[in-house]
Amino acid sequence: MSNYFFKFYFIIFSILILSLITSCCITGKLNLSQKEENIKEELILKNKKNAVVLIQNKINFSLTSTLTNNVVLSDKLNVSGTGFFIKEELHYNIIITVAHVCSFKLHKSMYIDNIFHTNPNMFTYSENNKILINSVFGEEPGTVIAIDYDKDLCMLITLPISNNLINISDNAPLYGQKFYSLGYPKGFWDTDYLPIFSGYYSGKYYKSDSFSIPTHFGCSGSPILNNTGELVGITKGFLDFNNVTLSPLYADIKYFISKKLTEDEVNNYLLKLWEQKLELN
């Protein structure tokens, strides 16, 4: 009888030991896998740092009365936002950001209402811009080549700056997936500084993709990236609290960045950029 109990407890003990060893091996592999995944993400985000830029836009705008044809107001604004390189050619780079960084036109109705308390259609609006791109490679002028006020998207062209690009993902974001945003809140910028925010895709909200990613003024135009460094969204605003970021829809972004330039368009834009560069110097 004693031999029987001894064998029984020995078998039970052996099973427990084997289970413990197996569990430790699995846990160790999972921890190692997670560490490797974290290191991979860190390297990807680090490599994308130089693809993100600060955009400074000096806007001069005026309002002209449609009744008297007289200029009733002129003003200046300094706007800052974030953008990123998405295309490189021999003689130029393409940068993507949001429309309200490139133009004040989206806010003109609210501005007119606050100042004049009247119908914005009583005025015609005009503006001219001086856009500067700050990157780790220096400062260059930029020019708007495409803008979609409805989707809040803007495309800029600059003289060649960087071959570090952000490409769009083949896949739209899915609910619960984790993503990262790189941007310059309040326009704080330095060559060695770029805040990284993270959060989860939360679904569509009023014709926008939403992410539980912290954001602030100045982050408009920030790329929202998956864990392989590909673009899935662009920060365009936030809700009443700063921990929900809104983005143009993935499909709208993908369509917008597919715009092609003709050779004549490129040459005209490059001529304008060189004129602006000479003014800077």
Tokens (6 digits) for 141: 């002028």
CB 80 within 8 A of CB 187: yes
pTM: 0.82
Region 117-142 average pLDDT = 84
What is the structure's pLDDT at 266? 87
The whole-number pLDDT of residue 44 equals: 72
Q: What's the token pair of residue 187?
A: 């326009």
pLDDT digits (tens, 9 = 90+) for 13-54: 556 666 655 555 555 555 545 555 566 667 677 788 899 999
Neighbours of 113 (CB within 10 A): 12
**Of the given ranges (81-95, 104-118, 173-187, 213-227), which has the lowest mean pLDDT?**
104-118
Comparing C-alpha atoms, which of 173, 247, 174 is closest to residue 210? Answer: 247
Looking at residue 163, what is its pLDDT?
86
Q: Tens digit of pLDDT for each residue in 243-272?
A: 899 999 999 999 999 988 888 888 898 888
Amino acid letter, 243: N
Residue 235, pLDDT above cutoff 90: yes
DSSP assignment of 145-181 equals EEEETTTTEEEEEESS--S---PBPSS---TT-EEEE
Please give the residue that has the higher pLDDT: either 70 or 178: 178
Q: Give the span between the Cα atoms of 38 and 32, in whole angstroms.
A: 10
- What's residue 190's pLDDT? 84
